[in-house]
Amino acid sequence: MPKIGPEAIKAGIGFLSVLLAGHLLLGLSILLKEVSLNKLEAKWQQLSPRKKDVDKVKEEVEAVEKMVAPVRMLVNDRMSWSKILNQLSNLITPGVWLTKLYVQTQISSPQKGEYARSLNIEGCAASLYGDETSLAAKFTKALQDDKEFLGYFSEIKLGPMEKNALENIPVMNFQLFCLFKDED
């Protein structure tokens, strides 16, 4: 077996010393990381119930926002209701009278939280000549052709119609749906 000289022994001891020091430093580093991890896990356990409360409040806020959105749309409305109603009055065809006006808001895209609004008009058309259906259609056409009235709506369409009689006079009940333009 070859003899190892004192310089080789010193070099081997130096190398082992460096290796041992590196091992100790890595071990100490791992130990410090474990202590830090344990502290963070303890803090997470403390915050976990609070996070659940915050998530619950967030969900409640989102639900309220969805309920408030239609009201907010009405409050921020930039249209002149007096102009709409006045123009509606001016366009009524003789033999037609309105029985109900209301604004309806429906969810158009639940995923995006988008809403569509329409002005719904219910009315009756009466005529001694039996042309009640044409009176309702004529009124609808007058609304569709009026640029001022149509300026607020993207579409105006005649809905269901139902024939009735009022004191032996033929009457046609009708519905109109006026879809408001997007306000974006």
Q: Give 17-30 pLDDT, tens digit per residue.
A: 888 888 899 889 99
- pLDDT score of 157 more than 70: yes
93 closest CA partner among 61, 139, 25, 54 = 139
HEC string of the chain? Answer: CCCCCHHHHHHHHHHHHHHHHHHHHHHHHHHHHHHHHHHHHHHHHHHHHHHHHHHHHHHHHHHHHHHHHHHHHHHCCCCCHHHHHHHHHHHCCCCEEEEEEEEEEEEEECCCCEEEEEEEEEEEEECCCCCHHHHHHHHHHHHHHCHHHHCCEEEEEEEEEEEEEECCEEEEEEEEEEEECCCC
- pLDDT score of 9 more than 60: yes
Bridge partners, residue 174, by sequence: 123, 161
Name the pairing type of β-strands 169-180 and 153-166.
Answer: antiparallel
Sign of the Cα pseudo-torsion (71, 76, 78, 82, in order): positive
Buried b (16+ CB within 10 A) or exposed e, 160-172: eeeeeeeeeebbb
Instruction: Quick: pLDDT tens for 83-127.
Output: 889 999 999 989 999 999 999 888 766 666 667 889 999 999 998
The predicted structure's pLDDT at residue 75: 64
Tell me the mean pLDDT in the region 52-73: 83
